[in-house]
A and B are shown apart, each in its own frame.
Chain A
């Protein structure tokens, strides 16, 4: 099968899975009583019980499920997800307000996580059973045993509470005054980028200052997965014949580790990118809640606590779509790197 056929087949499969995801979101929604589902259609908080009856009637919330599904899907495809109480705005507006804050954290913490994971994994494999390797293993065990929220609380208690540096939140009051002032243009909504474009370096530094603790806690926990995978895959690569050949030819150890072993070892690491993404989303929910960053993760938590149905459903759907797409891209990249995959 050539690559194009493979990609087309995967995209078709993805559509099936996406349909399934939408069915699942819909099923979860149908578990709720009609009175709560009204919020998907109506944006008024002061509804009397009488009005509720008529609304349920008008939007057919007691109709057979397939009819309701089609109606809901029709709205979703037109970009109408209802009104979010927690964002005090339509869901799509809330999303565009919160997403940049989340994106910023991912922008900083995501690449750092990958780099730390690969670096420590390589060190562990190269120095197998030496002190450096033991350190990386302990680091990995801590990474997948510590609850994200606990590490976050500890960092806050010690670093912010005791030493008084790196506060929670996303900007200081002075910084907020600047970004909400007239002269500050919102190009992207991402404060880091907007700060640079507006030439407000104070805001940029302020923003980075608030990103330190969330990023640190995020990297410690999320890099464990990549670390373990890199280490085991690197160990396997180091045992291959071509490494021995390279050694016999007299290539120096560092070149062998970097060029011959690591390049090959990283191929399987690509496959966990999807898994890593899911883990990051979970990490973001907790990290944003603890460090009080008003992003998507914190929004989901507030929506869950206040039973803001439209916001939750939108986010589940959105993250599902992103996740499926990420996995598709990963599979295509993998098929490109390793032609054997295309056979399946």
Chain B
């Protein structure tokens, strides 16, 4: 089967027919056609729709957090309100619809505002890494030679220490807290983006159109931004979409181990951390503290699951190798 044959089997229904003023048919811009094709592929997979619904749901919760759980102190909304310092978590009641954690922090409030923390961690880390990956990956892949060798050996070094252990060491060095976790994850995870983009650029670099651009005297920057990146960026976008879930999971794990935010901060990982003391209830009612254990963990799992489903879908839709299959 030749390649030209493959490109001919683009389904016809993706070509949206538009008409101009005189009533003649005009094909939509190729990018629009491609976008419609992508959207249709995306929506044809039930798993990606489930992922989309989950993430949209969380996004709504994050956006309307001030309405769903009005903060007592608008200056510092991430502080979970608590009534008293009694140690034992209380079961769900009229006052606290999802019960309270250790020291009477309200689980419902933490759940709602924790959504914002989760989005913040995921987006910050992934966007920063994407930027680093684009710059370093383009430079390494496009210029090659010594600079490539240096950048790739540095990524090798980052690759050679198990991720969580490295993260813990870094958090210790720069101090605990949610911001430290964000910085740490940025420092550690950029290598994947660089590797993937560089590999992709190596295959694009020698194409005829790049040679042509070079021959016609285009600057390096122009060649990279208009000829190379548009043809290789999908690979890192896929990595980015798959990495949001991984990032949030890693941050939650660090928080759970006690390296994240302080007690009472609306962060799911930190909430799960306080649950460790309340796994087993008093005699006669062993599952008395189920809400402390279940709720934060379920939120994290659902959030990560949503992003993983979206990431898988993004790979199927955007990866040129999977796309037309």
Asked if B272 and A145 sit within 8 Å, CB to CB, the answer is: no
Cβ–Cβ < 8 Å partners of A25 in chain B: 169
Q: How far is the CA of A23 from the CA of B294 in the complex (A)?
A: 42
Asked if B305 and A145 sit within 8 Å, CB to CB, the answer is: yes
A300-316: which residues lie under 8 A (CB-CB) from chain B?
300-301, 304-305, 307, 309, 312-313, 315-316
Asked if A28 and B173 sit within 8 Å, CB to CB, the answer is: yes
Q: How far is the CA of A315 from the CA of B290 in the complex (A)?
A: 35
Interface-side segment among B104-112, B231-239, B274-282: B274-282
Q: How far is the CA of A312 from the CA of B170 in the complex (A)?
A: 10
Asked if A20 and B157 sit within 8 Å, CB to CB, the answer is: yes
Interface-side segment among B28-36, B67-75, B248-256: B248-256
Q: A20-B154, A28-B169, A161-B280 are in contact. Are A305 and B258 (CB under 8 A)?
A: yes
A16 within 8 A of partner (CB): yes
Cβ–Cβ < 8 Å partners of A285 in chain B: 164-165, 168, 257
Q: How far is the CA of A327 from the CA of B308 in the complex (A)?
A: 27
Asked if B253 and A149 sit within 8 Å, CB to CB, the answer is: yes
Cβ–Cβ < 8 Å partners of B290 in chain A: 157
Asked if B293 and A316 sit within 8 Å, CB to CB, the answer is: no
A113 within 8 A of partner (CB): no
User: In the complex, what's the smallest C-beta–C-beta distance from B205 to chain A, in angstroms?
Assistant: 18
Asked if A290 and B276 sit within 8 Å, CB to CB, the answer is: yes
Cβ–Cβ < 8 Å partners of A289 in chain B: 257
Q: How far is the CA of A256 from the CA of B206 in the complex (A)?
A: 41
Asked if A319 and B154 sit within 8 Å, CB to CB, the answer is: no
Asked if A320 and B160 sit within 8 Å, CB to CB, the answer is: yes
Query: Per-residue 0/1 for B283-325: is the Cβ within 8 Å of any A Cβ (1 yes, 0 no)?
Result: 0001100100110011011001100110000000000000000
Query: Per-residue 0/1 for A30-71: is the Cβ within 8 Å of any B Cβ (1 yes, 0 no)?
Result: 011000000000000000000000000000000000000000
Checking A18, A149, A161 against B272 with a beta-carbon cut-off of 8 angstroms, the contacting residue is A149
Q: Per DSSP, are chain B's interface residues mostly helix, strand or loop, or mixed?
A: helix
Closest chain A residue to B173 by CB distance? A31
Cβ–Cβ < 8 Å partners of B281 in chain A: 161
A97-148: which residues lie under 8 A (CB-CB) from chain B?
141, 144-148
A266-290: which residues lie under 8 A (CB-CB) from chain B?
277-278, 281-282, 285-286, 289-290
Asked if B160 and A17 sit within 8 Å, CB to CB, the answer is: yes
Checking A150, A281, A312 against B169 with a beta-carbon cut-off of 8 angstroms, the contacting residue is A312
Interface range, B side: 35 or more
User: In the complex, what's the smallest C-beta–C-beta distance from B33 to chain A, in angstroms?
Assistant: 30
User: In the complex, what's the smallest C-beta–C-beta distance from B261 to chain A, in angstroms?
Assistant: 14
Closest chain A residue to B280 by CB distance? A161
Checking A16, A154, A286, A305 against B253 with a beta-carbon cut-off of 8 angstroms, the contacting residue is A286
Asked if A301 and B272 sit within 8 Å, CB to CB, the answer is: no
Q: How far is the CA of A154 from the CA of B154 in the complex (A)?
A: 39
Number of interface residues of A (CB under 8 A): 50
Interface centre among B165, B166, B252, B275 (most CB of A within 10 A): B165
Asked if A323 and B160 sit within 8 Å, CB to CB, the answer is: yes
Closest chain B residue to A283 by CB distance? B164
Asked if B166 and A281 sit within 8 Å, CB to CB, the answer is: no
User: In the complex, what's the smallest C-beta–C-beta distance from B323 to chain A, in angstroms?
Assistant: 17
Interface centre among A16, A18, A161, A312 (most CB of B within 10 A): A161
Q: How far is the CA of A148 from the CA of B301 in the complex (A)?
A: 10
Cβ–Cβ < 8 Å partners of A146 in chain B: 301, 304
Cβ–Cβ < 8 Å partners of B275 in chain A: 153
Q: How far is the CA of A289 from the CA of B165 in the complex (A)?
A: 14
Asked if A319 and B168 sit within 8 Å, CB to CB, the answer is: no
Asked if A147 and B304 sit within 8 Å, CB to CB, the answer is: yes
Asked if B286 and A161 sit within 8 Å, CB to CB, the answer is: yes
Asked if A316 and B297 sit within 8 Å, CB to CB, the answer is: no
B161 within 8 A of partner (CB): yes
Asked if B172 and A157 sit within 8 Å, CB to CB, the answer is: no
User: In the complex, what's the smallest C-beta–C-beta distance from B67 to chain A, in angstroms?
Assistant: 28
Asked if B286 and A162 sit within 8 Å, CB to CB, the answer is: yes
A192 within 8 A of partner (CB): no
Q: How far is the CA of A278 from the CA of B246 in the complex (A)?
A: 14
Cβ–Cβ < 8 Å partners of A150 in chain B: 272, 297-298, 300-301
Query: Per-residue 0/1 for A314-338: is the Cβ within 8 Å of any B Cβ (1 yes, 0 no)?
Result: 0110011001100100000000000
User: In the complex, what's the smallest C-beta–C-beta distance from B211 to chain A, in angstroms?
Assistant: 25
Cβ–Cβ < 8 Å partners of B304 in chain A: 145-147
14 A-B pairs in the complex with CB atoms less than 8 angstroms apart: A18-B160, A21-B157, A28-B170, A31-B174, A147-B272, A147-B301, A149-B272, A161-B281, A281-B164, A289-B257, A304-B257, A305-B258, A319-B162, A324-B160
Closest 10 CB pairs of A and B: A150-B297, A20-B157, A282-B164, A161-B280, A281-B162, A31-B173, A145-B305, A278-B162, A320-B161, A304-B168
Given contacts A28-B170, A153-B275, A320-B162, 5 further A-B contacts (CB under 8 A): A145-B305, A161-B286, A278-B162, A316-B169, A319-B162
